[in-house]
Amino acid sequence: MINFDAENCRQLEASMRREWLETNGLGGFASATVSGMNTRRYHGLLVAATRPPTERAVLLSKLEETLVLGDRRFELGTNKYPHHTIHPQGYLLQSNFRLDPFPVFTFRAGDFELEKSVLMLHGENTTIIRYRLLGETDAQATLEVRPLIAFRNYHWLGHETHELFHPPEVEDGQVRLRRHDNFGGTLYLAHNGRYVAGEAGWYKNFEYAEEQARGFDFQEDLFNPCQLMFELKGGETCDIIASTQRHEAAEASSLEERERQRRRDVIEVARDRDDYTRQLCAAADQFVVSRGRELHSVIAGYHWFTDWGRDTMISLTGVALSLRRFDTAREILLAFASHLDGGLIPNRFPDSDEEPEYNTVDGTLWYVHAIGEYLRRTNDLQFVGENFYVLLKQIVESHERGTRYNIRADADGLLRAGHPGVQLTWMDAKVGDYVVTPRTGKPVEIQALWHNALRTVEEIARRLEDVQTALRCGLLAERARVSFNELFWNSEANCLFDYIDDAGVPNADVRPNQIFAVSLPHALLSGERARRVVETIERELLTPHGLRSLSPSHPAYRGRYEGGPYERDTAYHQGTVWGWLIGPFISAYLKVNERSPASLINARLWTLPFRLHLSEAGLGQVSEIFDGDSPHTPRGCVAQAWSVAELLRCELEELG
């Protein structure tokens, strides 16, 4: 589905902005660009999750390859150095790039074509790199491969340090690499090369263009411990297996076929669908990761996010339930159940030994929604009753009487939340002590989620014949519904207020948060009011790649997400488009239009730009955000779980 010819590969500005991603189900990954150039600190051929799914370390940054044909040398790598120096310029030799299903690069050198593939094994911190001469030929060539290693936390950058590494430990078909302080453990390079040669040394001053554009440090030195020498013959494969565990190069073919079969199984649920839907299935699989020995979680986005409670629960329907991966859904729900505290699930699991963070008001309400969606699709009342019902009652009770960060139900039945200097909703940007979108008080989407949670627990309680809990939740939900419709309707704008502050003053900013009052299963709005909300959002916020976070008519609107950290963080929810919001918008739109044929046609049209987007940033993936202004340039993470999840949910459930 994703294939670039020589002309596209050799346009450096474009090819260095298209990024491929391989993941391993542990939180680790391999990633770089079509050009072969690393443009982020997060790029690397083996970024290992040393404590799955966190504590990631860039072990193998890249391989520098030289193909030798007689007395001619062809450098295949591409790097950026100071003063806009590109060296070497291997991208000019590229004749093709494709996902098949993993990245495959083709180079033309003289009269020969060399193919290079990169894949990651599921369940291991292992990357396999394979080379072969294409076509029927008796020609022979030499391939020189120089590993460039980093052995650093994936958020950091490394610089030349005297005696940082042990000398490489070399034996037949195997090289072992370690730091003196053992950070990152051992990197094994299994290979079927002829011999290992070369003296160790540093390659200095690599420049990472994306880091520079984002206002961060962007120069790095990488260590070359040795050189692997291969004899290439037509029809034969040269293999390197980079791993934190020992492999033999002879395993490469069988390991590749095992991984191919696993990926075929992943998209089997969409075997009768089009390429776009199957690609979304493959993309969704990249976010599901192990947490502990038996449970799972969801990485919020690549390259820098870990697993966040809010993102996981919003994503769960698309990445698991819509794909009928019910075992995975159960394991994700159980993983977060074990960390419920004070009626809240964690907002974020830190990338270290620190305690989970609970600074979220919506994450737990999305958790209740996810349990309800699991029950709706499986009818597995026994599992829900045995594992979650006590927790669900604790969640309601904790929110009713009050929990962390002043989260509590007021006398009017609506949920109030807020704490000085703390962001609790999904619009959580903060720069130092400056809270960009405070929304303290009663945010509109929190009321929608609270009402939906109460109705969900009410329904489960009735099915479990807990009449008292069902009645209490029903009364709370009805009180919230009545109060909401009295307080939140903005008659002048024909839509909902975004939040009501602690003084009772409504905020009339037109934001997408009000869509959840219509889109959730137990909606707060119906009839004409629901229709007006959808019409307002369509008019003010809808773009080809999702919903803007603020109307362009607002004086604080920011149409471009660019610059340093301050500029980007202050634009994050002030007009930036969020791809995941296309899902609830389509659900709400179809609901108010009673799924008429015309509404289904419109909804399908709104997803068409994402089909093209799969080839423009994170290949086969969907970006986190886009500029509010045309041409809506993709920004942020090149692969975001809830962006993929909501498109997949719509494709399989709303539009199918």
Residue among 515, 628, 505, 630 at smallest CA distance from 582:
515
How many CB atoms within 10 Å of residue 186?
A: 16
Rounded to an integer, the average pLDDT of 489-511 is 96
Q: How confident is the model at residue 283 (pLDDT cuts 50, 70, 90)?
A: very high
Predicted pLDDT at 157: 98
The pLDDT tens digits for 528-537 are 999 999 999 9
Give the separation between CA 135 and CA 298, rounded to whole angstroms: 42
Predicted pLDDT at 25: 97
Q: How confident is the model at residue 136 (pLDDT cuts 50, 70, 90)?
A: low
Enumerate residues 6+ apart whose C-beta is below 8 A from 270: 277, 278, 280, 281, 652
Predicted pLDDT at 44: 98
User: Is 90 exceeded by the pLDDT of residue 610?
Assistant: yes
Residue among 560, 512, 505 at smallest CA distance from 538:
512
Q: How far is CA 560 from the centre of its chain?
A: 21
Q: How confident is the model at residue 107 (pLDDT cuts 50, 70, 90)?
A: very high
Q: Could you write out the DSSP letters of every residue in 10-46?
A: T-HHHHTT-EEEEE-SSS-EEEEETTS---STT-EEE
Predicted pLDDT at 234: 81
Q: How confident is the model at residue 353 (pLDDT cuts 50, 70, 90)?
A: low
The token pair that represents 104 in the structure block: 């495959």
The token pair that represents 419 in the structure block: 């704490």
Rounded to an integer, the average pLDDT of 51-64 is 96
Predicted pLDDT at 510: 98
User: Is 80 exceeded by the pLDDT of residue 521?
Assistant: yes
Give the separation between CA 612 and CA 170, rounded to whole angstroms: 46
Q: Where are the alpha helices (DSSP H) in 379-525?
A: 381-387, 389-401, 444-463, 467-487, 516-519
Q: How confident is the model at residue 236 (pLDDT cuts 50, 70, 90)?
A: confident
Q: How confident is the model at residue 575 (pLDDT cuts 50, 70, 90)?
A: very high
How many CB atoms within 10 Å of residue 61?
A: 26
The pLDDT tens digits for 394-436 are 999 999 999 999 999 999 999 999 888 888 999 989 888 888 9
The pLDDT tens digits for 284-337 are 999 999 998 889 999 999 999 999 999 999 999 999 999 999 999 999 999 999
User: b/e map of 74-88 (b: 16 or more CB within 10 Å)?
Assistant: bbbbbbbeeeeebeb
In the three-class reduction of DSSP (H, G, I as helix; E, B as strand; rest coil), residue 499 is classed as: strand
User: Is 70 exceeded by the pLDDT of residue 456?
Assistant: yes
Rounded to an integer, the average pLDDT of 444-456 is 98
Residues 619/99, Cβ–Cβ less than 8 Å: yes
Rounded to an integer, the average pLDDT of 139-147 is 92
User: Is 80 exceeded by the pLDDT of residue 354?
Assistant: no
The token pair that represents 52 in the structure block: 């799955």
Predicted pLDDT at 265: 96
For residue 384, give Cα distances in angstroms to 56, 255, 391, 458, 597: 34, 38, 10, 13, 36
Residues 592/598, Cβ–Cβ less than 8 Å: no
Rounded to an integer, the average pLDDT of 333-360 is 88
The pLDDT tens digits for 462-495 are 999 999 999 999 999 999 999 999 999 999 999 9
Q: How confident is the model at residue 50 (pLDDT cuts 50, 70, 90)?
A: very high
Q: Between 136 and 240, whose confidence is greater?
A: 240
Radius of gyration for the alpha carbons in the chain, expressed in angstroms and rounded: 26
Domains in the chain (CATH in brackets) are 3-262 (2.70.98), 267-654 (1.50.10.10)
Q: In what order do the strands lie in the sheet with 499-500?
A: 442-443, 499-500, 506-507
The token pair that represents 447 in the structure block: 């009321």
User: Is 90 exceeded by the pLDDT of residue 64?
Assistant: yes
Q: Which pTM was predicted? A: 0.96
Mean pLDDT of the chain: 96
Give the separation between CA 562 and CA 367, rounded to whole angstroms: 32
Burial of 364 (0-12, 13-18, 19+ CB in 10 A): buried
